[in-house]
Amino acid sequence: MADTIFIKNLLIRGIIGINPDERVNKQDILINIEMQADTSPAAQSDDIVHAVNYRTITKKVIKLVEDTSYFLVEKLVQEIANVCLENQQVAKVRVTVEKPGAIRFAESVGITIERTRDAA
Largest separation between any pair of C-alpha atoms in the chain: 52
Is 75 catalytic? The answer is no
H/E stretch holding 33: strand 27-37
Q: In angstroms, rounded to a whole number, what is the distance separating the alpha carbons of residues 105 and 40?
A: 44
Whether 95 contacts 32, CB under 8 Å? yes
* Catalytic machinery residues: 99
